[in-house]
Structures are given as structure tokens and as C-alpha cells.
A and B are shown apart, each in its own frame.
Chain A
Amino acid sequence: MFIHYIDLAWRSLRQTPLVTFLMILAIAIGIGVTMTTLSVYHMMSMDPIPHKSERLFSLQLQTMDDGETWLTPDDIPYQLTYTDAINLDAFPGDYLSAPMLRSGFSVHLNTASSKPFIENTRVTGRDFFTMFDLTFLHGNVWTEEQERDAAPVVVIDEEMAKQLFGKTDVVGESVFLGERRHEVVGVTQKWRPTIKFYDLNNGSFGKAERMFAPFSHVKAYDVDTWGNTNGWKFEETRDFNDKMNSEMLWVQFWVQLDTPQQRQAYGDMLMAYMQQQQKLGRFNRETLQYSLQDVNAWMNYNDVISEDNKILVGLSFMFLAVCVANILGLLLAKFMRRAPDVGVRRALGASKRQVFYQHLVEVGVLGLLGGSLGVLFAQLGLLGVRQTYNYYAGLANMDWMMLLSAPALAISACILAGLYPAWLVCRTTPATHLKVQ
């Protein structure tokens, strides 16, 4: 029966090519516009690390004196001081934690033929790789001793290994960061999350780094951040050592806490730590405050989804509503015109339910056609987005979920539009139309 209805639908659509074309065009444009904005929204709001996003926490400490305010909704600074990051990373306990910052070096092989290039580098602790699921192809992360001694070592990814050496197995090879020789101890698989969720300070959709160095290098080699440094009070800082000892905020800190017990214990430790620091003259506050936010909360807190995008998604759904109203009108016209045919079918024994069902199938076919064309329109739209704003290149794409939801949305929209006309037409009383004929 379903096949038969599809056949009927096809015949009916071909009977009125102009109206059919208009309806398909309307739904396709509506879907095209909606899917363009929705795809970008979807990519921006997607959980970047679904299986453990609830166990990874970005740490914030309220280091500022009472009365100071910050740009964040809760007035707690985004980043930590170097002192706190180092102290907290040294906490004993069976959880993973990583202080980190974005820096960069001019990288070369110290040969005449290798042209130096600038490479963004994540300077971080050993736990980073486990916490954020990086896979090692060759070698491994630097050892605890190497971390402690600030040994000149690096981890690079396969893409960079190929760029430098033409192969991926380069453990033991040397690369130069500026004038300093470093040994490659590990090569990771390419890792490029669409959202740079572990570092939302430096552009949420920037590329993930391809090179990693131990956090102890910060002190040993005066590695400064290439990201933001924020101060909240006047401090005389003449050199890098002053900066490391200052109240300036420039280090990010993530911790992995697997169980509520761990979370509780960690929170207690943070409070104890702040109280201890208070005795040293820091944290001049009535109430001590920290914040641990998991990956999704952190993205929300950092407004990863742009305001413009939210406005566009809202407007395009309103636009889709216009398209639905449009199609409703056209369907009404089309179905009512066919009332005499329906009268004959009803007279010949078709039930109301069958007539209703048949018309909904027709509307569904319309939605499927419109949705498919809509996907094409959306691809054009996304191409336009990528061309206008290169930075969104990784975001302006449709994944399989979006590709499937486009026809689904189109069919639902069409069925929504078709319900009333189909109901009207199935109520046709056979007698009236038979009489006129």
C-alpha cells in the first residue's frame, strides 16, 4: 500500500509541475538556510571529548582581593598564577592534572637546508596526553625525571615529524627550538579537535598545537606565554622571574577527577591550600572561592558559540516557519482542487484514514525531495561561510548527523504543513462532488 501511495504521490506531483516546483523550492531554501546556520551551531556546541567530558575540569581560583571584579560572570579569573599552577600540580593524590600555556618557537634542524619556521607549542605536564586522549605512535611522553630536570625534550605529532624528517618514527632525533637542541621522545597521532576546548583563551577554534614541551621549561628557559597575561593590580615586573612570582594570571590548569569522592577531596585540598597561602599574605578575601567546571560547562562559560550564530539560528528557524506557512497555503490549494477525485475514491470505498494517509505520504515525498535539494543549498551556504571566514573552515561542515537531520527536518516541516490540508481533504463527502460531476 505504501508503495502504491508513493506512486500516487509521484503522479500527483507531476500533475501540477509549477506548484510542485514552488513547494520544493520553498522547502529547499528553508532547509538550506536553516541547515547552514545549524551546522555551524552544531559544530560549535558539540562535546569535543564525549566519553570523559564530565571528568575533566578546568580549575579557577579566586586570587583577587575582595572588591576586585573580572570580565567573567562570576568574577573569577580564567587563568591561574604561575605560583598556584606549580603548587597545585605538585599536590599528592591519585588523579591527573596538567598546568599549561601556549608558547612558540622557531623550529629548525640546524642544517643549511632546513628553513626555520614558527611553531605554536603547548607547554604542559606529563598527564596532558592521558587526560586529553592523545595516542603515541612512537616513543612516549617524557619521564618524570626529565620533567623535573627540565631536560631538553619534546613530543611532536606525526604531521610535524613528516614535515621535518619525512617519516614518523623519529624518536631520538634532534630538533632545534631556537638555538636549543631538543630530543624527540615521542610522536603522537595527529590530534585536531574542532574546538580547542582545553585553551579557550586563545581563540576557541584555533588549531591544536603539533608540538609539546615539559612545563618545567617555563622556569628553566624563561618560556613566556604567547597567550594572554592578565594583571589585576599594579606590580612592578622587570624581568621574567618577577612575572613568575607575581599575581599575574597566565597559566591554564586542567584536572581529571573520576569520582564524586575525588572531586570532594580535591575541593577540600584546594580550600586547605588557599588557607595556607592566606598565611603567606595572598588571597586577601573574606570567603575563599574556587571553581571546577567540566568541559561542556567550561565551553558555555567561555561563550564558545558566538552571539551572531545564535541570532542567525533563531532567525533561520523563523524563516523556516515562513516556508512552512507558504507550503501550507500551496498544499491547501492543491488538495482542495483535487476534492472531486477524492470524492470518487471515497465513493469507491476508500476510508477517510486511507485518504489522509495517502496525502501525508505525498507531503512526505515532497519533503524528501525538498530536503535533498536543501542539503545542496546548505553545502553552498557553508562554502560561502568558509570562504568569507577562514577561521570557521573546520566548523562550516555537515557531519553525518546533520546530513541525516536535513531531510528529517524537511519531512517533518512538510508533514506539519500538510496535516491540515490532508485532514480537510479526507473529510470530503463523496456525494457533493459526485453530484456536480
Chain B
Amino acid sequence: MFELKPTINALMRSKLGAVLLILQLAITLAIVSNAVSIIQDRLTYLNKDTGYPEAEIFKFNALNFDKNLDLLQQVELDEQTLRDLNGVIDATAVSSVVLSGSGSSGGMQLKPEPQESKRVNMGYVTGDEHLLNTLGVKVSEGRDFTEADVVVIDESDARPSVIIVSRSLSDELFGQGKGLGETLYWGADPLTIVGIVDTMANQWPKSSFGTKTAMIPMIRVGNFQKFLVRTAPQDRAQVMRQIEELMLASHRERVISDVTGLDKKKARYDAKDVLMMRMLMTLIVVLVIVTALGVFGLSTFNISKRTKQIGTRRALGARKSAIVRYFVVENALICSVGLVLGGAAAVLLGQKLMNWYSVPALSYHFIATTAGLLLLMSLLSVLMPALRAANISPSIATRSV
């Protein structure tokens, strides 16, 4: 009933147009399915929970240049000033800022250096007993740091003896669900795990070890000091505005810089991925438009070329629906060939991309979904010219061109 044979015969007589359409659809399918797969991968990462209430937290730096300043005393004074501030929930001086893309990383291992043992890469942050509360995370096992855990480096030879780690770090080192109370080694120093936090990203959430994080109760003051502050979400903007003045009022000879929300810090860290996503989305949209225009243009041309034949068919008794069906079937045939070829091209392109770059494997359902949508788009684009063809008057058959 679809008159497949005459349709195919007609196609074989003017191959080039069909070949061009097949080519367009195949490349479109290959590009779009791979682009969608990459977008999906980035979206999964961007939507991943970091564990922190990013909209409540902000950071800033203080660079001191007064040689005579007692740095430790100043840091403690600053922390107290911040905590006393209206709207502030907690504040602490930190060694680096999570989600920011910069800070310290290293390996935690099962045995002390220089012994060989299992070693897991992680990002670590040092601070005092307010660290977890300021970051808005809670231990799900064990306990938080206490004042007694905190060690000030440079005052004595004391070393921290306890550590709080993310679940993914303890799982990797000690096995699923274990780790609390175990001892790991940071260089040659033993540290006992007193608490485990379920979700807690480190400074490089995008990296392969982005979820492996350690919090160490240690203060090492320097001329360049970073601070983290957590407020109620509605108070953050107003607290951030006061920071510079407040800090300079307490000590003038320093520079306060980069007063930035943690959400913004993360957005900056992720800007490259957002850019890639937007570029790919733009590419998909314009590609689909161009392909649709191609289908539309070519069908229009085919129909105008066959005006006389259509008129003849109509004069010989073909219904309007038969004419529409003819063009739709023709298009569906072309489209299927294009999509089958495109499916193969998509798989091939996906493999190449995966070999050359750090792109996830292309799963087949992306190809299938894209192919389905492309078929739909193609049929929609052919519908209008086909309906116009159906309206060709049979009398045209009797006229010359």
C-alpha cells in the first residue's frame, strides 16, 4: 500500500538529491548524538551535590604586610570579629577554599613513608574546630573536631593526630563502610579518622579524585590568609559588603581581596564546562535547523520538478492523500538510510572522541533518541511541500510546462 517499488524506482533515477539528504542526516545524527552525550556528561557533573550550602558561604583573602604583626593573634582576632558579626553563623581561617580549583593536594597512605603502601590522592583543607560548621557539613559517623584537636604549627613540634575524611576517601583506603577509628599516614605522620562526612567535595570537584577530601585540624598562619564565612542565605550579600572595612578597621596594613561567594567560586571553576555546553547546544540547534531547511528545500524542488507527473497522477484518479503519502514515504525511505548510516557514523565518531579525548563512552540510547527525533523532524519538514503538491490541479497535466 505504500507503493514502495515505484517510489524506489523514482528515487534511483535522481540519486544525487537523495544522496545529499542521506549525507546531511547521517552527519547530523553523528554530531548531535555525540554532542548530546557530552552535554549530558557535563550536566551530571554540574548538578552533582558538593555537600556544601554554597549560597550561604563566602571567602576572602587577607594579605598582611606588617612585619611586627603577631599573625596568629591577628587571625584569632579576625575570626572572633567575624563570628560576632550580625548574620554570621560561623567563620574560620582556612588553608584553601573548596570548589575553587586551587589549594593543596597529596596522598594519604596506609603505612608511613618511606614504606610502600596503598596511596590515595586527595585534596585537604586545614582549619580549626569551626571548619566543618563553617562549611555547613556534618559528620555522619564519629565526631567533629574539638578545640583540643587543633594544633598550631610553628609554635611547637606538635603534629595533628586526628582527621575527618569524606566517605569516598575512607572507602577507597579501608573498604566500603569502614575507616572510622583507623589510622592513615600523611607522609610519615599518623592521623586517626575521628569522623566521616558522606558528601564533601574537595578543591577540584571535576578531577578524578574530586570527592576525596580530608579536613585536618591544624593552623599554620602566614602573611597570606584565606577565610571562610557562613551566614544565613539572605544575610550573605550584606555581610560581604562590610568585610573589607571591618577587616581594615581591625588592622590597616593589609589588603583584603577576592570577597566572593562559594557558589560564584564554583561557577568560575565550572565556566569552561558551561561554555562547552552552550557551544554544543548552539551547534545542535543550528544544525537541526539547517538540516530541516535542507529537507524542506529539496522536497520543494522535487515537487516543482514533478508538477506535471503529479498532475497526471491526479488526473488518472490518485487521491490527494496518495500524493502526500508518496512524498512522505519517499522521505521516510531516504531518512531511514541516512539514519542507519548516521548511527554507524555516530558510534565511530564516539569511539574516536573517546580515544583522543576524555569524553565518556557514547551510549546507544542517545543515538536512538536522536534518530527518532530527526525522523520526526524530517517528516514534519516534508509535510508542507507534500500538502502543497496534493493541491496541484489535475488540469496541469494537459498544459505544457
What is A's interface to B at a CB cutoff of 8 Å?
A: 19, 22, 25-26, 29-30, 33, 36-37, 104-106, 116-118, 177-179, 234, 306-308, 310-312, 315-316, 318-319, 321-323, 325-326, 328-330, 332-334, 336-337, 381, 384-385, 388-392, 420, 436
Q: How far is the CA of A26 from the CA of B295 in the complex (A)?
A: 13
B4 sits at the interface (CB 8 A):
no
Of B27, B253, B278, B357, the contact of A318 (CB 8 Å cutoff): B27
Write out the residue numbers on chain B whose beta carbons fall within 8 Å of the beta carbon of A26. Answer: 290, 293-294
B30 lies within 8 A of A318 (CB):
yes
| Shortest beta-carbon distance from A65 to chain B in Å | 11
Of A30, A33, A106, A116, the contact of B282 (CB 8 Å cutoff): A33
| Shortest beta-carbon distance from A116 to chain B in Å | 5
Residue of A nearest to B18 (CB): A329
B275 sits at the interface (CB 8 A):
yes
A-B contact count (CB 8 A): 144
A332 lies within 8 A of B114 (CB):
no
Of B24, B253, B359, the contact of A322 (CB 8 Å cutoff): B24
From A310, A381, A389, residue with most partner B Cβ within 10 Å? A389
Interchain residue pairs with CB less than 8 A apart (14): A26-B294, A106-B255, A234-B113, A307-B357, A316-B283, A319-B27, A322-B27, A329-B21, A334-B301, A337-B301, A337-B305, A385-B275, A385-B279, A389-B274
B298 sits at the interface (CB 8 A):
yes
B357 lies within 8 A of A311 (CB):
yes
| Shortest beta-carbon distance from B353 to chain A in Å | 7
| Shortest beta-carbon distance from B367 to chain A in Å | 16
**Given A308-B272, A312-B276, A388-B275: A329 and B20 interface contact (C-beta under 8 Å):** yes
Q: How many residues of B contact A (CB 8 A)?
A: 56
Residue of A nearest to B359 (CB): A311
Q: How far is the CA of A267 from the CA of B328 in the complex (A)?
A: 72
Residue of B nearest to A36 (CB): B279
Q: How far is the CA of A350 from the CA of B267 in the complex (A)?
A: 64
**Given A116-B254, A179-B253: A381 and B31 interface contact (C-beta under 8 Å):** no
B297 sits at the interface (CB 8 A):
yes
B66 sits at the interface (CB 8 A):
yes
Write out the residue numbers on chain B whose beta carbons fall within 8 Å of the beta carbon of A307. Answer: 357-358
Q: How far is the CA of A326 from the CA of B223 in the complex (A)?
A: 63
B272 lies within 8 A of A117 (CB):
no
B279 lies within 8 A of A337 (CB):
no
Write out the residue numbers on chain B whose beta carbons fall within 8 Å of the beta carbon of A178. Answer: 65, 67, 223
**Given A22-B297, A116-B65, A332-B17: A381 and B30 interface contact (C-beta under 8 Å):** no
Q: How far is the CA of A219 from the CA of B45 in the complex (A)?
A: 44
**Given A33-B282, A106-B63, A388-B274: A25 and B293 interface contact (C-beta under 8 Å):** yes
B31 lies within 8 A of A319 (CB):
yes
Given contacts A322-B294, A329-B301, A330-B297, 20 further A-B contacts (CB under 8 A): A234-B113, A234-B187, A307-B358, A311-B353, A312-B279, A315-B31, A315-B280, A318-B31, A322-B27, A329-B17, A330-B298, A330-B301, A332-B16, A333-B301, A333-B305, A336-B305, A337-B301, A337-B305, A389-B275, A391-B271
Q: How far is the CA of A392 from the CA of B27 in the complex (A)?
A: 29
A333 lies within 8 A of B113 (CB):
no
| Shortest beta-carbon distance from B110 to chain A in Å | 15
A179 lies within 8 A of B66 (CB):
yes
Q: How far is the CA of A311 from the CA of B23 in the complex (A)?
A: 21
A384 lies within 8 A of B28 (CB):
no
B63 lies within 8 A of A326 (CB):
no
| Shortest beta-carbon distance from B388 to chain A in Å | 13
Write out the residue numbers on chain A whose beta carbons fall within 8 Å of the beta carbon of B359. Answer: 311
- CB 8 Å contact bits of B66-100 with A (1 = contact, 0 = none): 11000000000000000000000000000000000
Residue of B nearest to A323 (CB): B290
| Shortest beta-carbon distance from B378 to chain A in Å | 13
**Given A315-B283, A330-B297: A388 and B278 interface contact (C-beta under 8 Å):** yes
A392 lies within 8 A of B353 (CB):
no
**Given A311-B353, A381-B282: A325 and B271 interface contact (C-beta under 8 Å):** no
